[in-house]
Amino acid sequence: MAEVAAAKKQSAWRVLGMALSNRKTGFMLLFGFASGLPFALFLGTLFAWLTEAEVDLETMGVFSLIGLAYAFQFLWSPLIDKVDLPLLRRLGRRKQWIVPMQVLLGSFLVTMSLLDPKSQLGMFSLLAGIGAFASATQDIAINAWRIDVADERATIDILSTIYQMGYRLSSLVGGALGLIIAARIGWPETYAMMGAILLFVGFVGLWAPNAEGVAENSQGDEQVRALRLAGELEPAIRSRALVAVGLLWAAAIGVVLVFMILSLTSAPEDRPNPTEFTVNWGPWIIVATIILPALIAGWLAGQKKQGKHLLSHDAPPASGGSYAMDHLYRALVLPLVEFVGRMGWSLVLILAVVLTYRICDAIWGTFAYPFYLGELQYTNDDVAFASKFFGVGAIIAGLALGGLMLTTIGRMATLLIGGILAALTNLLYADMAVGGANMAAFSKAIGFTYLIEQVPGIGDADLAKLTITIAFENLAIGIAGAAYIAWLSSIVSKKFSAVQYALLSSLTLLIGTLGRGALGEMIENQGYYDVFVLTTWIGLGAAVLVCVEWYRESRSRNSGVVQPDIAEVDHDVAAGS
């Protein structure tokens, strides 16, 4: 047994070594950095610049619309999977979107640095808004690239971990470091510097590898031609499904566009509230773009499985309107049909994990600063030190540990351990909510308090217990995040990676937004302690669901049922999962 364990361990370390020495890993770190930097600059640091420029708060509210680009990015994800950009297709299926978006973002940031945000607010806000959509588009393409290029050397687990490391590093560079740089050289110069960084990444990205094989070049056309082969659904049935799904998606996109137009054209006092829009309309947009289309896709998959409404012989090649309908079906409906048909009733379990696994930290982020500054009465400097500098270091350490665990003990084991740890760290905050006596005693016992007391100006025992609490939470979030992104990436198909991943990840983002209102009301009525106990139970419930999903995957693997496109890069056996 010891020899077998040693062999597995050696195999796992070999896999890790191959992944870290692969050029795909280096580009993944670069792309992760490029993905996170615009988010930090548009949704964080930008408000500090606007405040310094004395832009009023009502006008600043328009800039919160930028967040909608990230929340609803799945609405245009089919374009990333289907549309080729003129003259850029030769770069590769994903790079034709990644590189231009990075160049566009870099150019926008440099241009913004030349504008005065107060006297030229119109152009300034336009660039920021378009930049956010370019950033969200880049995110869709980068996530799809990560899934497409994964192989037995650069595994999906390691690439997902490296991506998040780059993302977290960029949040530090664009956030805390950006504030420090701006205080010394000014905001225009800082944004020009950040823009130059993205332009450099876009240039280097030209040499990033593409997915190997024929699929990179002709996958979409082959899928469209396959729709006309014997055994596929009849065109009339597909057309009806496409019209239904198309109307649902068009209605959702229309609602978002109307909201944005009203926000940009109305007087400040008449502008709709972005948070209320997300809470009130977000669930209906999810129903229209995910739930109802998934039911339609399930019906189509069922018809095909039962042998109903199928072509008895090859149909003539599509042309004209039918050609366009086939391409639209491939872009909008086929990704859902493939996913629902492959997962079957397991989709209910998968959605349950998606909706609960990251809900604790997704909701908590909004209330973190009110808790630190208002409830616990820490200063801005205290929170900046504990959460921005020490905290980011802890989360990067957690990601590194998560990547190691993915390689050595397997994806599902890491997903379970990360979920349990992330849930239990809520109890640390519960202790802080009632005084933090236990965290203070623990910090002192291990010598951490003495270490923090050496920090000039702000170091004391109170800062030590806050810092160690945030450190444990971020360490757990790093492990859970590495496992979650790897698992989410593993269940989508490479054939439709952009659409399927964007849809699933959007559920994680929106469920946090939708739950904040109820959590805020609970904080007001019952206090923080009860909220932290509740989120602990939610996190543990998610861990139970992970156990069920682990059992489901094990049964599928033992019965010989593997997920298409992922089996070739899955290294759980080598990792001893």
pLDDT range class, residue 217, cuts 50, 70, 90: very low
Nearest C-alpha neighbor of 82 from the set 16, 10, 144: 144
pLDDT tens by residue, 131-146: 888 999 999 999 999 9
Whether residue 57 is predicted with pLDDT greater than 60 in this model: the reply is no
pLDDT tens by residue, 493-504: 888 888 888 888
Q: What is the pLDDT at residue 92? A: 86
pLDDT range class, residue 508, cuts 50, 70, 90: confident
List b or e across 510-536, with b for residues whose CB sees 16 or more CB atoms inside 10 angstroms: bbbbbbbeebeeebeeeebeebbebbb
Cα–Cα distance for residue pair 354/350, rounded to 1 Å? 6
293 and 396 in a single domain? The answer is no
Residue 55 lies in a domain: yes
Residue 4 lies in a domain: no
Dihedrals phi, psi of 345, to nearest 5 degrees:
-70, -15
319 and 357 in a single domain? The answer is no
Per-residue pLDDT, averaged over 223-246, amounts to 86
- Measuring CA to CA, how many Å separate 286 from each of 130, 140, 226, 348, 510? 23, 18, 30, 15, 9
Cα–Cα distance for residue pair 123/126, rounded to 1 Å? 5
Q: What is the pLDDT at residue 502? A: 87
What share of the chain in percent tops pLDDT 90? Answer: 30
**Rounded (10°) CA dihedral 252, 255, 261, 263:** -120
Q: What is the pLDDT at residue 193? A: 95
Question: Which distant-in-sequence residues (6+ apart) come within 8 Å of 388 by Cβ?
Answer: 172, 175, 176
Per-residue pLDDT, averaged over 558-565, amounts to 54
Cα–Cα distance for residue pair 286/242, rounded to 1 Å? 18
Q: What is the pLDDT at residue 219? A: 61
Considering its fold, how many domains does the chain have in total? 3
Average pLDDT value for the chain: 82
Q: What is the pLDDT at residue 505? A: 83
Per-residue pLDDT, averaged over 303-326, amounts to 80
Residue 530 lies in a domain: yes
Lowest average pLDDT, out of 82-91, 212-221, 394-403, goes to: 212-221
Q: What is the pLDDT at residue 212? A: 64
Cα–Cα distance for residue pair 199/192, rounded to 1 Å? 10
136 and 232 in a single domain? The answer is no
Q: Residue 342 class from Cβ within 10 Å (0-12 exposed, 13-18 middle, 19+ buried)?
A: middle
CATH number at residue 139: 1.20.1250.20
140 and 227 in a single domain? The answer is no
> pTM for the whole thing?
0.82
pLDDT tens by residue, 387-408: 877 888 899 899 999 988 998 8
Q: What is the pLDDT at residue 336? A: 87
Lowest average pLDDT, out of 106-110, 241-245, 319-323, goes to: 319-323
- Examine the fold and report which residue of 289, 306, 332 is the final residue of a domain before the chain moves on: 332
List b or e across 233-258, with b for residues whose CB sees 16 or more CB atoms inside 10 angstroms: bebebbbebbeebbebbeebbebbee
Q: What is the pLDDT at residue 145? A: 94
Residue 489 lies in a domain: yes
pLDDT range class, residue 260, cuts 50, 70, 90: confident
pLDDT range class, residue 517, cuts 50, 70, 90: low
What share of the chain in percent tops pLDDT 70? Answer: 85
301 and 359 in a single domain? The answer is no
Q: What is the pLDDT at residue 356? A: 86
* Token pair recorded at residue 444: 């002192």
Residue 6 lies in a domain: no
Please give the residue range of the domain that contains residue 379.
349-575
Relative orientation angle of helices 528-558 and 411-433, to the nearest 10 degrees = 170
Q: What is the pLDDT at residue 13? A: 57
Better-predicted residue by pLDDT, 392 or 214: 392
Identify whether the C-beta of residue 131 lies closer than 8 Å to the C-beta of residue 108: yes
Lowest average pLDDT, out of 213-222, 324-333, 526-535, goes to: 213-222
Identify whether the C-beta of residue 157 lies closer than 8 Å to the C-beta of residue 571: yes
261 and 368 in a single domain? The answer is no
